[in-house]
Amino acid sequence: MFEFELEALKITWNSISQRKLRSTLTVIGIAIGIAAIISLVSISEGLKQTITKQLQQFGANKIVVMPFASTSTTSSFASSYFTEDDVKKVEKVSGVELVVPFLLKTVSVEYKGEKELIMVAGIEPEKTKNLFENIQGYELESGSFLRKNDKTSVILGNAVAHDMFSEEVEVGDKIKIGDKTFRVKGILKRVGNRLDDNTIVVPMNPLREITGEQKEITMMMVEAKNAEEVEKVAERIRKKLEDYWKKGTFTVLTTRQLAERIKIITSAMTIFLGGIAAISLIVAGIGIANTMLMSVMEKTREIGIMKAIGATNKDVLKIFLIESILLSIIGGIVGCGIGILGSKSLNGVSMVQGGVPLRTSVPPSLIAFGLGFSAIVGIIFGLWPAYKAATLNPVEALRYE
């Protein structure tokens, strides 16, 4: 069994190693394509998992309500908003435990003479504790949450306290937001996403006074009484708001729906990046075809000899297919190695400064895919040269100089 194939492998290995430069160049072509596939796919899969994990921390019973279509661009983000009336309507929907309205504004913040533009989230102070304690990973590093009627206290995101200003901000320090001075009451632990770590939580009413926005609500976060009913509650909120808002001008999404959307987007990214890498493999495949055609030409006489001593067309076809598959598999192995290194080197790196570190991994299935794909490239692009070799006329091949 496979006696012939093994021997053919030895013969082709000889011929490949005798043409070192050409074989190396061919192998590099394949290796680049496979390395690109492995690293790009593993990075985008890592990204998908990172985002999904973050959403899981968010809790399954959360519903986000936004005053713009989920398909719209960020420009409408600013122009459209909810009001306190909308909040009251949502609060009345059955199954809703708590509605946390946010007013998000970018405001000039001053600390010890230094000014920075910072995202400020206005929240009713009594809801801060409830909100943060309900979401995994959002804990205080020091200080305490805001209390009802708190008007002059704020909570800082971790990066605001430690990275934003040249001097660290501590609990009890004074900080100026707009034209009002606040006292830092609490500092959050590092969450790992840029938005939250760089935000200041401010009581709603003082923020309205600073910005002059009297009724605007940027978005609402809703907590359902029970996680199993969250989809139904979301549907009820949607129905309710449709009485006042035109369909498609607002968005109600549960955590799961949000996760699914992100999955679709990142999957599309995986396919897109993988596709680009696959195109580079087609180019590499053409390189294989070229190398093999040269090999067939150089070995024309040997093909004649093999046929004269009893090789069938199929034997010759096999020998040349084995040669092209060998080239492409070597490329595949090298490419997998490079791809794994590439993926490893990006493990733990953040896509944005201060963002969640990316967790990349190369699962065995991806390596199997890489090797399998390289072999398929070898077969497809080796087939025509091998067929040419197999169907050479033996007498003419023997006469070839």
* Site of interaction with another protein (CB under 8 A): 3-4, 7-8, 11, 14-15, 18, 301-302, 304-315, 394-395, 398
* Closest CB to another protein among residues 8, 66: 8
How many Å apart are CA 190 and CA 141, to the nearest integer? 8
**Contact assessment for residue 199 and residue 119, using Cβ atoms and an 8 Å cutoff:** yes
* Closest CB to another protein among residues 9, 171: 9
- Minimum CB separation of residue 330 from another protein in Å reads 19
* Closest CB to another protein among residues 228, 396: 396
- Minimum CB separation of residue 274 from another protein in Å reads 39
* Closest CB to another protein among residues 309, 352: 309
* Closest CB to another protein among residues 100, 316: 316
**Angle of helix 230-242 versus helix 84-92 axis, rounded to 10:** 130
Q: For the beta carbon of residue 40, count every other beta carbon within 10 angstroms.
A: 21
- Minimum CB separation of residue 15 from another protein in Å reads 6
* Closest CB to another protein among residues 354, 394: 394
Q: For the beta carbon of residue 46, count every other beta carbon within 10 angstroms.
A: 22
Contacts of 110 (CB under 8 A, 6+ apart): 116, 175, 176, 177
How many Å apart are CA 148 and CA 164, to the nearest integer? 28
**Contact assessment for residue 62 and residue 231, using Cβ atoms and an 8 Å cutoff:** no
CA-wise closest residue to 397 among 293, 291, 298: 298
* Closest CB to another protein among residues 294, 349: 294
Which 8-state DSSP code applies to residue 379?
H
How many Å apart are CA 182 and CA 166, to the nearest integer? 19
How many Å apart are CA 375 and CA 381, to the nearest integer? 10
3-class secondary-structure state, position 69: coil
* Closest CB to another protein among residues 148, 314: 314
How many Å apart are CA 159 and CA 166, to the nearest integer? 12
How many Å apart are CA 197 and CA 122, to the nearest integer? 15
* Closest CB to another protein among residues 23, 54: 23
- Minimum CB separation of residue 16 from another protein in Å reads 11
- Minimum CB separation of residue 294 from another protein in Å reads 16
Which 8-state DSSP code applies to residue 160?
I
- Minimum CB separation of residue 11 from another protein in Å reads 7
- Minimum CB separation of residue 321 from another protein in Å reads 16
- Minimum CB separation of residue 322 from another protein in Å reads 13
Q: Beta strand 114-123 with 199-203: parallel, antiparallel or unpaired?
A: parallel
248: tokens are 């498609």
- Minimum CB separation of residue 34 from another protein in Å reads 29
22: tokens are 């050409």
